[in-house]
Structure 1
Amino acid sequence: MVAWGDSVPVLQVQDEESALFALGEAARAELEQTGAHVVGVTGTVGKTTTVAMLAHALAACGPTGQTRASANLPLGIAWNLASLPEGVRYAVLEMAVGSMARNTALARPEVAVFTNLGAAHLEYHHSVEEVARKKARIFEGMPAHGVAVLNRDMECWGIVAQAAHARGLRVVNYGTHAESDVRLLWHDAASGRLGACVHGAERELRVGAPGRHMVLNALAVLAVAGALGCDTAPLAEALGTFQPVAGRGALWRMRWSDGRQLTVLDEAYNANPVSMAAALDLAVALCPPGARLVLVLGDMLELGTEAEGYHARLLKRVAGLGAPSVVLTGPLMASAMLLPHWPEACRVVHSPGAEQVAALLERELRDGDFVLVKGSAGTQLSQVVERMRALGVPTEGARA
């Protein structure tokens, strides 16, 4: 150990990467010694939001740490383990399909959550079935008493459930399926209230974040709570105050300097067919009566050889929504926009990049517009949201 200046300690190592892994492994060993619980979260959709919701809810039961910066590959997991606050009782870690064997060897989760499976990462893994098998390797690092919490409604559930059973894990299912251990009974979108059957007992609670996908995330939280033996009452209460994170469903209300008031549904962090469908459903549900719905959609990347087909099917659905204004960006959207029969009342334009999209919106958005912004991270649509927010000031209830 050497001193850097007068107050900052510096540990000199021969190799930074090896040192970071060693720090992560040491931190995980300390969690083991203190009896802390580690929850790993994977899936093609909803990992980061589910991590945030789990951490928010579990904090009602004890000190909790979580993945930061979506760092979900081995180095990121090691960094997050080493960066956990001292004395945590729960650690919630996001775990990506890439290098899953290394990820799970580091994290060694007691509970593994599958949020959903669908078309994503196909450029590298070729099929949803292959993605399911590779993500199921999360079970390899789990203890004998581990619990797999699975979305019973997800594609390729059977592949994942079989892998969990093969490891001798207890499987807890959640969703709308009749075989779900934590099953949705009803949901009132206006109030956010829902009813669920939790291992045979009916519960009623409220989810602060809007959208059916958020309801399913809440069911996953209840399933994890049961797996960890937590009191579900404080967790259920905490779910009522959960709000989406930026880029993943945050709702921004703003007033521009010229007086235009706008609402932006910020889904700009990433996109694939499953998450795009959920975002469209949410935008339609949240758009107030009389407001103009504006859809700003970017390419869905990493879909492999079927990318054009996924975009064509998406825009066919978009055309059927009847939104009066659709702004597209990216080469895949440019090709696909020629295929649907767009309604006469729908104005569809394509802009080559985020900077041009932002300029277009600044010129053409109207007072009262409700704007969905959604695309893969590579389309840089998050910059569009930042530009829109920078043009004005938040209004009452700026973040819902």
Structure 2
Amino acid sequence: MMTLSEAAAVVGGRLHGNGASFNSVSIDSRSLSPGDLFVAIPGAVHDGHDFVGKSADSGAAGAMVSNLQSVPISQIRVADTTQSLGMLARSWRERFSIPVLAITGSNGKTTVTRMVTSILSEIGACLSPERSFNNQWGVPLTLLGLNDSHRFAVIEMGTNGPGEIDYLSRLTQPTIALINNVSAAHVEGLGDVRQISRAKSEIFSGMGKRGTAIINLDDPFHGEWQSHFKTCVPDGEILTFGLASEAMIRSENPNPDWQQSEFDLVIGQQTIHIVLPLPGIHNIHNAAASAALAYAAGADPESIRKGLENTSGAPGRLRRVRGIKGAELFDDSYNANPRSIMAAIDVLANYPGKKILVLGEMAELGHAGPEYHREVGAYARQKHLDQFYCLGQQASELSASYVEGFGKGAVHASDADVLIDELIHQIDDNTAVLVKGSRSSRMESIVAGIVDHAEAREDASC
């Protein structure tokens, strides 16, 4: 990849030890491979400097530190290891003249990332992030994975506050950038939805004078995004997508189901029929966004069709898994905001049998949190679901707001194990269960409990 001496020069650090070469970069001593550069990141719980010795034992070529460690390993001393990781990634990205696609939005970032990666992989090698590597550490680590085999790179960008996407965009220097949508998410850190929109539009900051913006004509902020893009990228091009008839790439005749979704994708004068192996109208929207991204990167319509139809769902993002007693289980436990929950409820509502909704609380919604929870509860009631459970502390105002919104029949559970036992009692082979909530709600424990019971039954019958 490069030498420690070269890395030190890039980040303005001082090398203590030899200038050996390193193969890749890691911030986790547990997954580090021999020959890697270990970057010691101070965290809220653990300080990477405490693991420099472990990285040396694992065969690291060197370490980047803010404080020299008494460990027999070459070390690059810098003022700030997070900042230096970004500087190293930016320098490395500049060595590659390939389409670099950047993706942000309140909902669907990871799904679109997987979809467009599937499309572009029909053409050539495509770099994309491991898991949701979309912050000040994940984006640099993804960029540092670029090599000469890659024809494309796809980068996901998230934010909890103003300026974060601006920073990530300037590291990434995207040639194509998408804002998938904007809704109430991370309100505490960003303010109202308009402020969220402005934070997302920072994705255009690192594009230079040329590049392509992928604009969602179905989103009410699309005009502001186009205007901001033209300010940031004066010689840039705009490619629109959506269900709107004016969109350059659009979805027509949508037929979303609880198992899959079918629609016609119009690209210029050509129409192709897509059978998407993901449920919901929101995934038809995600597919159109992915098609526009890929088209801007040079993909042909047939590659777009194959890539979309070969897409697989991301773990914890409305992924269908087998539940107990043969029930359908929608694992949407990764995260939640009002719009994403309503989209998932729409999918559950299409199931022909018994429908059970299990929600954890939505975090980072600020003072409007209770009202958002009431709105979601009322929306679930309108969809005629058979049972609604919410999980939260006994005295939680947010869970109480869910119950108030749904009305009669809603159940507030404060113990996950008790809730799992209740679900086991309720479920049969004509039941679908949707589990969703913010990360802080740890709804994956509900999913794991149900799946574990299913596996135990299968093992016992063998």
Same structural fold, with TM-score higher than 0.5 when normalized by the shorter chain: yes
**2 CA distance for matches of 1:155 and 1:310?**
20
* Residue aligning to 2:282: 213
Which residue is 2:447 aligned to?
Answer: 385
Is the 1:294–1:325 contact (alpha carbons within 8 Å) kept by the matching residues of 2?
yes
SS in 2 for 1:247: coil
Amino acid at match of 1:115: N
- The 1:323/1:133 distance shift into structure 2, 3 A limit, reads same
* Residue matched to 2:85: 20
Q: How does 1:23-34 map to 2 (within 5 A)?
A: 23-31=88-96
Partner of 2:370: 308
- 2:11 is aligned to none
Which one of the candidate residues 238, 247, 257 is aligned to 1:180?
Answer: 247
Q: Counterpart of 1:245?
A: 314
Tell whether 2:399 aligns with 1:334. yes
Aligned to 1:74, the other structure's residue is in SS state: coil
Matches within 5 A, 1:1-400: 1=18, 4=56, 9-11=61-63, 12-15=75-78, 16-31=81-96, 35-84=97-146, 86-97=148-159, 98=161, 99-167=164-232, 168=234, 169-190=236-257, 192-254=261-323, 256=324, 260-285=325-350, 287=351, 289=352, 291-330=353-392, 331-340=396-405, 342=407, 347-393=409-455
Bigger mean CA deviation after superposition, 63-72 or 182-191: 182-191
| Structure 1: 5+ residue stretches without partners | none
One-letter amino acid of the structure 1 residue matched with residue 156 of structure 2:
E
Instruction: Indicate conservation of the 8 Å contact 1:174/1:181, yes or no.
Output: yes
Q: Which runs of 4+ in 1 moved over 6 A?
A: none
What is the deviation of 1:294?
A: 0.7
Shift in CA distance, 332/27, structure 1 to aligned 2, threshold 3 Å? farther
State which drifts further: 365-374 or 189-198. Answer: 189-198
CA contact (8 A) 1:329 1:352 kept: yes
Structure 1 contact 147–171 (Cα < 8 Å) conserved: yes
Measured in 2, the distance between the counterparts of 1:341 and 1:215 equals: 28
Number of residue pairs matched by the alignment? 383
Please tell me the residue identity of whatever aligns with 1:334: S
The 1:134–1:19 alpha-carbon spacing in structure 2 relative to 1, beyond 3 Å, is: closer
Q: Which amino acid aligns with 2:152?
A: Y
Structure 1 residue 240: deviation in Å?
Answer: 0.8
Per the TM alignment, residue 77 of structure 1 is displaced from its structure 2 partner at its CA by 0.9
Q: Is the 8 A contact 1:66 1:84 kept in 2?
A: no
**Cα deviation digits, residues 348-369 of structure 1 (max 9, x gap):** 2111254443343234433432
* Offset, 1:172: 1.2
For 1:336 and 1:238, the matched residues in 2 are separated by 41
Q: Tell me the secondary structure at the aligned position of residue 271 of structure 1.
A: coil
Q: CA deviation at 1:102?
A: 0.9
Give the residue type in structure 2 aligned to 1:125.
L
Structure 2 gap segments, 5+ residues each: 1-17, 21-34, 36-55, 64-74
TM score, norm. by length of structure 2: 0.77
Structure of higher RCO (CA pairs closer than 8 Å, 6+ residues apart)? 1
Percent pairwise identity: 26
Check whether the contact 1:147–1:170 (CA below 8 A) recurs between aligned residues. Answer: yes
Distance 1:104 1:295 in 2: 38
Distance in 2 between residues matched to 1:353 and 1:21, nearest whole Å: 42
User: 1:203-229, CA deviations, whole angstroms, 9 ceiling, x for partnerless residues?
Assistant: 322212121111111111221122122
Instruction: Compare CA radii of gyration and give the structure with the larger one.
Output: 2
